[in-house]
Amino acid sequence: MQFHEVLRRRRSIRAYKPDPVPGASLARIWEAVQLAPSACNRQPFQFLMLLAEEKKEAVYRCYGSEWLRQAPAIVVALGDREEAWKRLNGASVHPIDTAIAMEHLVLAATAEGLGTCWICAFDQEKLHRELGLKSKWEAVALTPLGFPAETPATPRGSKSVGELVRIL
């Protein structure tokens, strides 16, 4: 798929088929994650791929949308607040680095004909407990991963370029 076609095709998918994600697709998705830029190249992130039903149920307890349960896999993007580069004011950039790598995953999945949906409206502290994460990790975002069982009909509703870009 051409790059701009991938960008146009990517939508938030909220219905999934149960079919597993092919191994070859996964390999290309993880390579896309490897290629993500990060501040000082610290790569302060890790992606948990949850396939086990009890792990997926643990995530569902933190984000109770039924469609999350349909996907054959859920990916949780973790940021490492200790390893990440810090801004001059001391703020860690791990959410930025992790989000970039996550979007690489999302676009690579789209190119494979797979569906994803960025999810941030989950109970972060509860997920931390459910997955037994060390304190340095922040669960920045998660997404179901699987073949779409819907084609979103509603238009994306993008703002105009004039609203999004200012030339000074």
Ligand X SMILES: Cc1cc2nc3c(=O)[nH]c(=O)nc-3n(C[C@H](O)[C@H](O)[C@H](O)COP(=O)(O)O)c2cc1C
Binding flag, residue 124, ligand X (CB under 6 A): no
Residue 19 CA: distances (Å) to CA of 66, 73, 146: 17, 10, 7
What token pair was written down for 110? Answer: 């789209």
What element of type H or E holds 39? Answer: none
The full DSSP string for 56-113 is: HHHHHTTS--HHHHHSSEEEEEEEETTTS-B-TTS-B-HHHHHHHHHHHHHHHHHHTT
Select from 29-37, 83-91, 113-121, 129-137 the region that touches ligand X (CB under 6 A).
113-121
Binding flag, residue 159, ligand X (CB under 6 A): no
Select from 44-52, 73-81, 87-95, 117-125 the region that touches ligand X (CB under 6 A).
117-125
Closest residue by beta carbon to ligand X: 121
C-beta of 109: minimal distance to ligand X in Å? Answer: 13
- Interacting residue with ligand X among 83, 118, 123, 131 (CB under 6 A): 118
- Interacting residue with ligand X among 35, 120, 124, 150 (CB under 6 A): 120
